């Protein structure tokens, strides 16, 4: 399917007016499709396989901000550490420590979002509330991770036809975001990103406080 230009233009305008960042999810889509969207002004793109991201990054303009939105294995961090703009799916201390080490080697601070498990039914990756709080407690101790910037939280709602269910899950994530902000990042303006909402549920996500949506099929056509 071709790039959905009209949808892109109206959606990006709408999101800009609401100060919500649009991450165009280009996974499985070819480089020319990304170039087409780049030409319309899009700069934030999301990928969820390391190898695919590395290959595309090498072929595309350097001012693209690449978001890694998949499940990241520690042994693959090194491939994206030199250039990645934000890693969305961080769900363990071990992974954070690896990102920190790789950030140090690249002499940069890597922006990360902690992934929270909000979907009631599906088993998806992510931390539950207790795990999230424990992780934050550990990294706010005596040995801060100096090459990691925790910028916020990320979550995925259930794939469900029931909008009330999806809304409840996003509400839960927003309330967790507010709690975490108050407890751990009160004086940290960088903790400001709530990444929630995809093609099927971004409207609800924005109503519930999302600041960043990750949208693929609506813009690039179905996969």
Ligand X SMILES: *Cc1c(COP(=O)(O)O)cnc(C)c1O
Phi then psi for 154, rounded to 5 degrees?
-135, 145
CB of 187 to ligand X, least distance (A): 30
Residue placing its CB nearer to ligand X in the complex, 23 or 132? 23
CB 91 within 8 A of CB 114: yes
Residue 12 and residue 44: Cα distance in Å, rounded? 11
Q: Which residue is nearest to ligand X (CB)?
A: 216
83 three-state secondary structure: coil
209: left (phi over 0), alpha (psi -120 to 50) or beta: left
Residue placing its CB nearer to ligand X in the complex, 132 or 145? 132
CB of 143 to ligand X, least distance (A): 30
Residue placing its CB nearer to ligand X in the complex, 102 or 115? 115
CB 115 within 8 A of CB 155: yes
CB of 103 to ligand X, least distance (A): 22
Residue 86 and residue 66: Cα distance in Å, rounded? 7
Residue placing its CB nearer to ligand X in the complex, 130 or 222? 222
CB of 137 to ligand X, least distance (A): 26
In the complex, which residues of this chain contact ligand X (CB under 6 A)?
25, 27, 48, 69, 156, 198-200, 214-218
């Amino acid at each position: 399917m071709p790039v959905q230009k009209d949808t892109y233009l109206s959606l990006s305008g709408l999101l800009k007016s609401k100060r919500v960042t649009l991450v165009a999810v280009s996974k499985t889509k070819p480089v020319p499709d990304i170039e087409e969207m780049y030409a319309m002004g899009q700069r934030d793109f999301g990928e969820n396989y390391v190898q695919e991201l590395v290959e595309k990054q090498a072929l595309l303009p350097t001012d693209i901000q690449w978001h890694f939105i998949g499940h990241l294995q520690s042994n693959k961090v090194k491939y994206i550490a030199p250039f990645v703009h934000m890693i969305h799916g961080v769900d363990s201390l071990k992974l954070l420590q690896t990102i920190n080490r790789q950030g140090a080697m690249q002499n940069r601070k890597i922006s990360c979002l902690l992934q929270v498990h909000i979907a009631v039914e599906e088993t998806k990756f992510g931390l539950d509330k207790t795990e999230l709080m424990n992780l934050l407690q550990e990294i706010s101790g005596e040995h801060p991770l100096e090459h990691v910037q925790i910028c916020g939280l990320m979550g995925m709602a259930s794939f469900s036809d029931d909008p009330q269910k999806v809304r409840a899950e996003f509400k839960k994530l927003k309330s967790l975001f507010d709690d975490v902000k108050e407890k751990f990042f009160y004086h940290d303006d960088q903790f400001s990103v709530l990444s929630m909402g995809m093609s099927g549920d971004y409207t609800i996500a924005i109503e519930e406080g999302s600041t960043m949506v990750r949208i693929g099929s609506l813009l690039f056509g179905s996969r």
